[in-house]
Chain A
Amino acid sequence: MMNIATYPKGSRVVLQGNEAIARGALEAGVQFCAGYPGTPSTEIIGTLAAVAKDADIHVEWSINEKVATEVAGAAAFAGLRSLAAMKNAGLYVAVDYLLHLNLSTLGDRRGGLVIVVCDDPQAHSSGDETDTRWIAKMADVPLLEPSNIQEAKDMVIWAFELSEKLGCYSFVRSYTRLSHSRSSIILGNIPKRKRKAMFDTSKCYSPYIATPKHAALHEQLTKVQEIFESSPFNSYTGPEQPELLIICSGNGESCSVDAIDILNLTELVGVLKLGTLWPFPKELVKKHLTRAGKILVVEEVDPFVEIHVKEAAADLSAVGKPPEIYGKGSGHMDSYGEVTPDAVIEALSRIFKLEYQARDSNYEQKAQDAKGLVIGRGAIWCAGCPHRASFFALSDAIKRDRRQGMVIGDIGCYVLDVFPYGTHRTNVLHCMGSGAGQACGFGELGRFGFEQPVIGICGDATFFHASVPALMNAVHNKANMTLLILDNSTTAMTGFQPHPGTEHTATRDAATVIDTEALCRTLGCRVEVRDPFDIKETSATLRELMRDENGVKVLILRRKCELVRMRQEQTYPYKIWVDHEKCKGDKCGYCYKVFQCPGISWDKESDKAQLQAAVCVGCGVCADICPTRAIIKEDIG
């Protein structure tokens, strides 16, 4: 079967945005790719890893985004075209390196280095909706933002060329609606030529001395701006002299096109789509600003284009009447969340004073009346998920311990604990590795009278990503804390990527496995390992560790992610049924109200617990926690 590395030039193929970015890198002759998984960016490295052998390239899941960027940077110094991919939150892990790499340049032998960052406007699967474009401005490096999937592929190729030409890395900014959409695009050629890696040791590249290098970087950026002023990735469509000009980027383009079409404004509104966002193509924008008296800026998430449009308009104010600029600043667009066709329809309707109704009043009324029936559907751990058992045991242990033990969460499927239907056992939660880091801090407050037990959480991938330095810090500074490592043997949240504790690399080669348990012991931690499905034993161990005040304790709760187990074993461990004689129904409700597994519910008619046949995976934990032993688990022979 054909794949992303073997489709020939000229083929028309349906690709996801992230796959198109991967294909673009291959067409640019990329040889070295690294990243850390994070929605919506994961499929870029995932796709490249799957074809690494066909394409004869190196692809790795690195331990975190900073290391991913550093290894890709090294390959660029050695002359290879290299790519690093991550989500917005990951970029902030890598920023220290990137804000110094810009000053050093990539050297004389350089291969192009492209950093692809996928933002998540509306935070569909993130803890924030921050806008990457500011980092490009801060770093004084070029940033391109595709508006569609064809552009995603083509811009990646151009980003490599820009990087090589200018001696600095370049950013391609994607976003959820691009990364996770599919459309057919036309493919180009994948070059056969491979470069040999070599470093000229007569040279030294560093940010020192920073100020003159900063000045040189600015000079380079001026050259990029000249290129951007005439780039075909910036284009205008519409009447010669529209009444209103929309200036947009990314997802804003297709939303604007739909809105103009729906409101029948084709004769009155033009669209200037910008793809080269930093350095800002100011002269080009100035030229277009003279087309119309009214401007609407449409972009995700912050008013980045908008403030630069305003700057360009200010330059024009000396020569004539400046246009009226609508957008986030004027309150016509939101400066949070995702841009939708409806948001643009609303803004245009306000400006043109139009009455817009998506559907007739009779239907609208019926739709509004139906609202009461549409209850929410909260996310929660899958049936059979080890985390449900872990949090159940954790709650039990803290309750029995009676000292208001606190829990510091982290990023992984266990974030669901703070979602509306979680157990809310987690007290504080922020970013990758901050479970261990903040637990360390709380664990150092003893001399200020802090007496509560402190439990930090991380997953097996999170442990490696950013928890290890925090754990070392805790050991070194004698923090009193327990680190709970919820080890489901994979990076589950993003689709089962390997990490330094798993047996395979991204390209399915045998890996050197780092033993979490041995590492923690070497650091001087007391380490215990339990099966979270053994709730009694897990709770008892936790209570004992909370009482042990001698430094840092680690409890590894090890059990495979149920989705992975099911893929591998294709069978359920137990057949589960409810003994109606023993079940006390809603008077108890322990299994569905407290344990809250989606595989079990309450049957109103019989007033008994009821298995959900389409959901239960037969893990049997509900049978263990049932106070009346009414849930029966039978071995499947």
Chain B
Amino acid sequence: MTTSRDALNLIICGVGGQGNILLSDLIGSTLAKKGYHVTVAETFGVAQRGGAVFSSVRISQNRACGPLIPEGKAHLVLGLEPLETLRTLQKYGNPETVCVTNTYPLLPIGVLAGKEEYPDRDELKKTIKALSKAAWFIDATSIALELGVRIAANIVMLGALISSGELPLTKKDIEDEMRDTFPPQRIELNIKALDLGASALRSHN
């Protein structure tokens, strides 16, 4: 597989504690093994404490890119939380942007405290669609909660992203990288999460 766009700019966004950085590391190292130049930048600040987390992954066959994606230049958005997906599209999206997003909302503290209102789910979905060339919506957190491991939602989303065919990666590439770098007792569960994500995307309409 080759990337038709060089460089390909992928943004992974979510909320602290969702395993955002694990995903960007995993995608980055898998692509690097396939010979791509990859630059990953992680913005987390104090995000472990419920703030927004944002990783950029820039993939090129020709050059090592800088860490920052210019505004309006994302090709691909992997959103682990729908409000964060919209936040990212709002700044980095363009008419060609493709996105895969988790639909399970994590309520910001202002919403939890009753000071602000979380956007209406349908309107959120409609706006994400309007700002993307193509958008897939996956209820990854519910899938992970059913698996009994809520933290695996990130891997469910990765399974969906791979299955979209938008990244120059196969599921096997990711599985191989997991076997190389994950603790052995976690591998089977994570592969299952990948599969569930892939089938969720395939059954998407």
Contacts and interface: CB of A to CB of B under 8 A. Distances in A.
Interface string B42-85: 11111111111000000000001111111111000000000110
A39 B42 CA distance: 12
Is the interface on chain B under 10, 10 to 19, 20 to 34, or 35 or more residues? 35 or more
Given A378-B110, A593-B114, A601-B107, A413 B49 contact: yes
Contact of A416 (B49, B65, B119): B49
Contacts of B112: 592, 596-598, 600-602, 612
Nearest to B67: A181
Nearest to A600: B112
A592 B70 contact: no
B28 interface: yes
Contacts of B70: 258-259, 262, 340-342, 345, 358
B67 A376 contact: no
A192 interface: no
Nearest to A420: B110
A379 B47 contact: yes
Is the interface on chain A under 10, 10 to 19, 20 to 34, or 35 or more residues? 35 or more
A382 to B, nearest CB: 6
Contacts of A378: 50-51, 108-110
Interface string A83-121: 000000000000000000000000000000000000000
B176 interface: no
A47 to B, nearest CB: 14
A23 to B, nearest CB: 16
The main secondary structure of chain B at its interface with chain A is mixed
B121 to A, nearest CB: 11
Contacts of B109: 377-378, 380, 421, 596, 598
A541 interface: no
B131 interface: yes
A453 interface: no
Contacts of B114: 586, 589, 592-593, 601-602
A253 interface: yes
B147 interface: no
Nearest to B15: A377
Interface in A581-612: 586, 589, 592-593, 596-598, 600-602, 612
A183 interface: yes
B24 to A, nearest CB: 8
Interface string B115-131: 01111000110010011
A423 to B, nearest CB: 11
A563 interface: yes
Interface stretch (B31-39, B154-162, B163-171, B191-199): B31-39
A602 B110 CA distance: 11
B72 A358 contact: yes
A513 interface: no
A379 B45 contact: yes
Contact of A180 (B17, B41, B110, B141): B41
A374 B90 contact: yes
A150 B29 CA distance: 16
Interface stretch (A208-216, A321-329, A360-368, A471-479): A360-368
A259 B116 CA distance: 37
Contacts of B87: 374
Contacts of B15: 377
A286 B24 CA distance: 42
B150 interface: yes
A204 interface: no
Given A380-B109, A563-B48, A375 B118 contact: yes
A184 interface: yes
B8 interface: no
A257 interface: yes
A262 B66 CA distance: 13
A373 B145 contact: no
Given A416-B46, A598-B109, A340 B73 contact: no
A1 B68 CA distance: 31
Contacts of A184: 32, 37-38, 64
Nearest to A256: B66
Nearest to B42: A180
Contact of A182 (B25, B93, B118): B25
Interface of B: 15-17, 24-25, 28-29, 32, 37-52, 64-73, 83-84, 86-87, 89-91, 93-95, 104, 106-114, 116-119, 123-124, 127, 130-131, 141, 145, 150, 180-181
24 contacts: A1-B181, A14-B32, A180-B44, A182-B38, A184-B64, A254-B66, A255-B68, A341-B68, A363-B131, A367-B91, A367-B93, A370-B127, A371-B90, A373-B119, A375-B83, A376-B108, A377-B51, A379-B16, A382-B49, A413-B49, A416-B49, A421-B113, A601-B114, A612-B112
Given A366-B130, A382-B17, A614-B106, 5 more contacts: A177-B68, A181-B41, A380-B49, A593-B113, A614-B145
